[in-house]
Amino acid sequence: MSVSLPGSLVSTEWLAAHLDDPDLVILDGSFKLPGVTPVAAEDFAARHIPGARFFDIDAIADHETTLPHMLPSAAAFERHATELGISNDSIVIVYDTPGLMSAGRVWWTLRTFGHDKIAILDGGLRKWLAEGRPVTAETATPASGRFRATFDPAAVRSKAYVLANLESRAEQVIDARSAGRFTAEEKEARPGLRSGHIPGSLNLPFNALTNPETGELLKVADIRKAFEMAGLDFTKPVITSCGSGVTAAALAFGLHLAGKVDVAIYDGAWAEWGQPGDTPVDTGPGGR
């Protein structure tokens, strides 16, 4: 291999220096909520980092469920990864437009299917553009990759597991949604969902991990402090959640940078839990 990752987070300077490396696969994992236009794929078509391929979070998903962008099967993910030109020995860099909103979901998905040669671009497209670095509307046509998926069930939690965890409290739950959505002061964007949060869960909005001016990640010590201020105990395992499993992965990435390995994501997230039914819902401050 002619390139190796310096860590799970790479700078714009590092990526600019390695743009032409043949071992590198660059993924634009940008995502927008339903109804927001232009959609992320249209933004990508208009401009993206040269050589990048679009990782469509809604398309690379389980289409047998009505829940949004749930993890696909290992076989389906192998097909998608191969089409994106990803092989098991590829070095993957993923970015999104704001800096850390949906890139974490792509990072987590690849790791859940056994690929750990992946890093997130610090500051994302936002910082790249602010520095005047090149973008293009030209779409890359990569050669097919050779990817074999190895699914890690420890990375994912189901609704049944989270329900059982309400009694056992074996794992902490922390929610990446805004404080207003968490406390039910704001309504959910997805129609038909109740407002509130999983009983006993903590709240840390995903954008609390980044510099609001540049989109860059905070220093590791400050990331850890943010989680601790939210009430997280670093000695206990963690489940991250959010609206639909996207920004939960931003929290998972932040925890990863802080050295925490016993972290899983509730993939169904509030899109599943908040549906009318028998799942209990709390409002107001969390952590009770």
Active site residues: 242
Residue 241 one-letter amino acid: S
Residue 236 one-letter amino acid: K
Tokens describing residue 189: 């964007």
- Say how far apart CA 220 and CA 238 lie, in whole Å: 18
Peptide bond into 68 cis (omega under 30): no
Of 205, 192, 92, the C-alpha closest to 147 is 92
Element (H, E) at 98: none
User: DSSP letter at 111?
Assistant: H
Supply the Cα-derived Rg of the chain in whole angstroms.
Answer: 18
Of 187, 185, 188, 202, the C-alpha closest to 284 is 185
Give the distance from CA 71 to its chain's centroid.
12
